[in-house]
Amino acid sequence: MFNSNLIVLLAFAFTAHPLIAEPSVVVTLGSIGDRIRAQNPDLAAARMRIQEALGRINQAGRHANPEFETSIEHDPSFREGKFEVGFSQRFPITDRLRLEKDVSLTELKSSEAEVREVERQLISKAREAMVKILANRQRRELLQQQSAISKEFAGFLAEIAQKGEGSPLDAGQAKLESASLAMEMRLLGAGETSLIGELRPLLGMRPGEALSVGGILPEASLPESAADPSNRPDFQVAKLDAQAAAQGVALEQARRYDDVEGGLFAAAERTEDAPEGYENEAIIGLRFKVALPFWNKNEGAIQEAEAKRNRKELEAVALSRNICLEAEAARAEMAEWANVIAEINDTLLPLAEEQSTLAETTYRNGQGEIQSVLRSREKRLQLAAARLDALREFHLARVRHETALAKP
């Protein structure tokens, strides 16, 4: 009895397992940034740059290790000899160690900004893919609506053709139109699969994990035109690199003078003082070394550091200008697409709807031709598709505008 119950339970478990669906990742245009910050592996790898910079901070500004010295001397007969031990330490005579710490701290801030820049680029790519997916999906929904109307109209034509009241050729053309719409929907479905394939790695998804894209493209609305380059992580990196380069100039200037070296030594010596015999002596002393800057004053490194500082400052100025131009161009493009959408919504689509309804009503009453109906439907579909294309391009430009301004 026990064995039979166990077999039944195992059989139920194996049959029920396929019914348990894997949980899917649900993302929207608004939540995609949070998903990337939490799960993207490239961003997680980029964050290790901060740890690298912390390691450089811990290493920078340290004194050189002290040195231990020893020496032994003796004559061939080992009757006379000398033994010496000593410790020495090098000390900078400039503020080089503090400058090294300052440069490393600026590089840490730059590494943090670099991570935010990687995040900005990843979110921008993901949002562009999301806009294309949502536009593709809305296009498919439009075709589904059009296909339903075409099937209904094709059924009407087939019915009147069977009664001898209509042309079989007209019914065939309407059926062909409906089939063409179905094929176009399949092509859009294949395109959406490709776009989802591009989006999945950006979201840090695992193989076999399902993705569910939610939401729709909102209506076009222009954002504010103010542009502030200081919010951009790459501009922050440029400014910090310029600051580090300026600190590097001071550091190279401090390196014109080598470290001084001071030490303490003790020695014991045994010598023969004839005819008195052998004498033992002990010596304690100090050593001091300083390099004379006659041949090397670090001029070349200072010149290089100054040129680098000037280059970094010019690069920051150029980037600031490019950011403003990028934001202005994206907003101007958004304004153009918004005008196109408004014209299609307010003028062209209502006119196309009216003409399509009129052409179909006229044909049903036996006063028109099927070509007029198909042309009016094709024109209405083209305008609806053009509106979706304009809305897609508007939101792609909006993504570029928000990316240019580093908006979350």
Single pTM value for the model = 0.80
Q: Residue 322: pLDDT above 60?
A: yes
Q: Is residue 321 part of a domain?
A: no
Res 169: pLDDT: 67
Q: Is residue 75 part of a domain?
A: yes
Q: Is residue 157 part of a domain?
A: no
Q: Which long-range contacts (CB under 8 A, 24 or more apart) does 218-222 make?
A: 218/395, 219/391, 220/334, 220/337, 220/338, 220/341, 220/391, 220/394, 220/395, 221/338, 222/331, 222/334, 222/335, 222/338
Stretch among 171-185, 292-306, 320-334 having the lowest mean pLDDT = 171-185
Q: What pLDDT digit, counting tens, does each position of 135-151 carry?
A: 998 888 888 877 776 76
194 phi, psi to nearest 5 deg: -65, -40
Q: Is residue 248 part of a domain?
A: no
4: pLDDT confidence band, cut at 50, 70 and 90? very low
Question: How much is the mean pLDDT over the chain?
Answer: 84
Res 165: pLDDT: 56
Q: Which residues contact 84 (CB under 8 A, 6 or more apart)?
A: 69, 70, 71, 72, 265, 266, 267, 268
Name the more confident of 377 and 8.
377
Candidate ranges 150-164, 180-194, 299-313; pick with highest mean pLDDT: 299-313
Res 112: pLDDT: 94
Average pLDDT over residues 40-55: 93
Stretch among 62-71, 104-113, 154-163 having the lowest mean pLDDT = 154-163
Q: What pLDDT digit, counting tens, does each position of 331-349 carry?
A: 999 999 999 999 999 988 8
Average pLDDT over residues 60-67: 89
- Percent of all residues in the chain with a pLDDT value above 70, rounded to a whole number: 83
380: pLDDT confidence band, cut at 50, 70 and 90? confident
- Domains contained in the chain, number: 1
Res 41: pLDDT: 92
Q: Is residue 67 part of a domain?
A: yes
Distance CA 156, CA 393 (A): 38
Res 118: pLDDT: 94
Res 176: pLDDT: 72
Q: Residue 18: pLDDT above 50?
A: no
Res 23: pLDDT: 57
- Quote the domain boundaries for residue 286: 61-91+259-292
In this structure, which amino acid lies at residue 106? T
Average pLDDT over residues 227-250: 92
Closest CA to 341 of 311, 383, 313, 380: 383
Q: Is residue 325 part of a domain?
A: no
Res 161: pLDDT: 66
20: pLDDT confidence band, cut at 50, 70 and 90? very low
The DSSP element (H or E) to which 312 belongs, if any, is helix 299-343
Average pLDDT over residues 29-52: 91
81: pLDDT confidence band, cut at 50, 70 and 90? confident
Q: Per the omega criterion (within 30 degrees of 0), is the bond before 23 cis?
A: no
DSSP 331-361: HHHHHHHHHHHHHIIIIIHHHHHHHHHHHHH
316: pLDDT confidence band, cut at 50, 70 and 90? very high
Res 9: pLDDT: 44
Distance CA 111, CA 51 (A): 9
Q: Is residue 65 part of a domain?
A: yes
86 phi, psi to nearest 5 deg: -160, 160
Name the more confident of 18 and 287.
287
Q: Is residue 269 part of a domain?
A: yes
The DSSP element (H or E) to which 71 belongs, if any, is strand 67-74
Distance CA 243, CA 186 (A): 55
